[in-house]
Amino acid sequence: MFFVRYKVARYLAWCALGLVSLSAMGDPNPPTLQSEKGAWPIHRQWNAAELQHYARWVEHLFEMKTGGSAEQRAAKIERMMTDPEMNLLEQPDFLGEGGNPQLPASTLHMVHSIIDCGKFTAFMPAYYACRRALPWMTASVASGGGDIRLAGSNYPAGGVNSFTAASIEEYFDQAIPGFSTGNFRVNLYGRNCDQSDTLPVSITREALLPGCVGYVNGHALLVAKVTEYGEIRFLDASTVTTRDIFTYNGMNAIYGITAPGTNPKSEWDGCYRGLRVLRFPVAEVDASGKVTAVRRRTNEEMKEFGFSTEQYERVKDILQQHYIETNGVRVQSLHDYIRLRLMSVKTIYPIRFMAQYATELMEAFRMREAVVQAAWKEVHDNGPVVYPEKQTQENIFNAQSRWGQWSTAYSDIDLRNKYFYLADWCDFAIRMYEANPKSVAFPGFKRLGITTQEGLAKLLLDSKNRLFANRSMTYTNSKGDAVTLSLLDVESRLYDLSFDPNHPPELRWGAQAGSTEIATAPESPTPVPKGETVAMQDAYRLQCFYRSLGQFETEMSHLRGMFTEGFPIRPKFEQQLSKWAGFDHPVTAKASL
């Protein structure tokens, strides 16, 4: 992290001294258009060079969110967009000639106050387009039946066009509040599909750039970086009232992709989950270069920007032949296929990757602590939060009430998946070692004589335990005292972390019954509709199923009378990798070093 901060600081210092320009080769897409009509002046078209410029802007924000100062790592939308070290568009050279000024403070604050994962993916390209004097459009969609965020399919039914909107304020007031993850659920050849906001993207480093979107059921993330190992990094927005913007790492954000032909009525129905590219609009101009209209690009025009159904076709290959072949290597999962397609190096370094990832994972749990403390304060200040028990319109994952603002039921799923991603990646490294031993390196450990998959698995298991033991965080308990947990501790409690905002911090961090740690926790019951309450330990026990899930549910949530055993729980890291090492029993994690 220090090295990243050093590189950023050095680069900005060089810029200040005039030793290098933020746009070293000049503006990659100089202004050529004329327009003063609409929400903002338009002076550029979207093209390949502009797309690279946009990708660079997004990736720089990600680097500052992971390697900047403590304040920058915790920055929310208003700080991100106004800090010139974070937002390259605040640098004149990067903004370029003919760029537009910063958005009004009131507009930035409005966006901050309503931000969630879907609105974040809508705001970022619209903001960039405004500042760089590019055309932009945002669709509004109608439900194909039921909750728009989960409907089988939606269809565009209007929207906002930067060329026809009266002002910047009007555009953002109309475009962002009404945007939801339902905007992504538009079938490829369905009703009004040519007006959709996104299209599926080719799995190549040239097309899958920062600024693309990853969409799963009810959740969207902004692609922010593709590493040399073919790993995808994301920027994500919190749905709680703290409105956090955070970094998210893990291929587990890519799942639920539908194979074409699943729906016999239409081959491509349901093929909207996965990795998406923005449908960049076109400014139509007259002979003098004056903008006369702004329209969506067609599917054919979008091929230049990476539109492809490749990911869906590869899922179909897996279903039909149980493997995919790429770069001469056969793989059996879409995640491995994506990694191989996006890798820019011939060798992977598992121990190095694990060390970096363990640090990022610990940081994600530290960010959870801020939400836990905010929720505990909310309960103290404004009373307990009602659990949405047996509600037909909302559940613990999608509630719009106070529960939706303060519970971590949804975000805890992301954290569990983030943890399991490391085990999945290590599985990938071990499979790669079998396919091509020279492609996997572990310098410094060759003296151990590792020559087999079993040996590599044992090395990874031991390294994980050491890395997890050496990373720690603190949480503040109900008495105001700091409690230290190593990443090994958090791992051991992975299924014990309470998502219930009514629970004190001790229980939110999985303190065990009978321990001195839980002794400081006061009784704090959970209310349910109609005014009844459930005692704290009873509610905690009855919520155990929901603490085990790897994806959110769409049906009603239960509490009283809920089953507490008999459901499957995914094995943790040791159990998952033990199959390679040939152990009869799971490995026991080592104590902190």
Structure confidence at residue 581 as a pLDDT band (50, 70, 90): confident
pLDDT value at position 11? 38
pLDDT value at position 582? 67
Q: Report the range of poorest mean pLDDT among 52-56, 168-172, 294-298, 550-554.
A: 550-554
Contact 133, 40 (CB under 8 A): yes
pLDDT tens profile 234-250: 999 876 667 888 887 66
Q: What is each CA distance from 68 to 355, 436, 564, in whole angstroms?
A: 19, 37, 43
Which of residues 67 and 271 earns the better pLDDT score?
271
pLDDT value at position 23? 42
Question: Domain coordinates of the chain in residue numbers?
Answer: 2-342, 350-581
Structure confidence at residue 553 as a pLDDT band (50, 70, 90): confident
Q: Residue 378 above 80 pLDDT?
A: yes
Please name the amino acid found at residue 410.
Y
> How far is the C-alpha of 219 from the C-alpha of 547, rounded, in Å?
19
388-408: average pLDDT = 88
Instruction: State the average pLDDT for the chain.
Output: 89
> How far is the C-alpha of 182 from the C-alpha of 156, rounded, in Å?
10
pLDDT tens profile 70-79: 788 888 999 9
Nearest to 291 by CA among 32, 47, 33, 31: 33
Contact 88, 57 (CB under 8 A): yes
344: exposed, middle or buried (Cβ count in 10 Å: 0-12, 13-18, 19+): exposed
Q: Residue 14 above 60 pLDDT?
A: no
Per-residue buried b or exposed e for 552-586, using 16+ beta carbons within 10 Å of the residue's own CB = beeeebbbeeeeeeeeeebebbbebbbebbebeee
Go through the chain and tell me how many residues it has. 593
Could you say which DSSP state residue 441 is in? -
pLDDT value at position 447? 61
> How far is the C-alpha of 483 from the C-alpha of 493, rounded, in Å?
14
Nearest to 537 by CA among 500, 487, 574: 500
Q: Report the range of poorest mean pLDDT among 12-21, 112-121, 338-347, 380-389.
A: 12-21
Residue with tokens 């089988």: 152
pLDDT value at position 249? 64
Nearest to 155 by CA among 72, 318, 272, 313: 272
Contact 54, 178 (CB under 8 A): no
pLDDT tens profile 123-158: 999 999 999 999 999 999 999 888 898 888 899 999
User: CA-CA-CA-CA torsion for 584, 415, 390, 178, nearest 10 degrees?
Assistant: -150
- What is the C-alpha radius of gyration for the chain, rounded to an integer number of angstroms? 25
Q: Report the range of poorest mean pLDDT among 68-82, 104-118, 432-446, 501-515.
A: 432-446
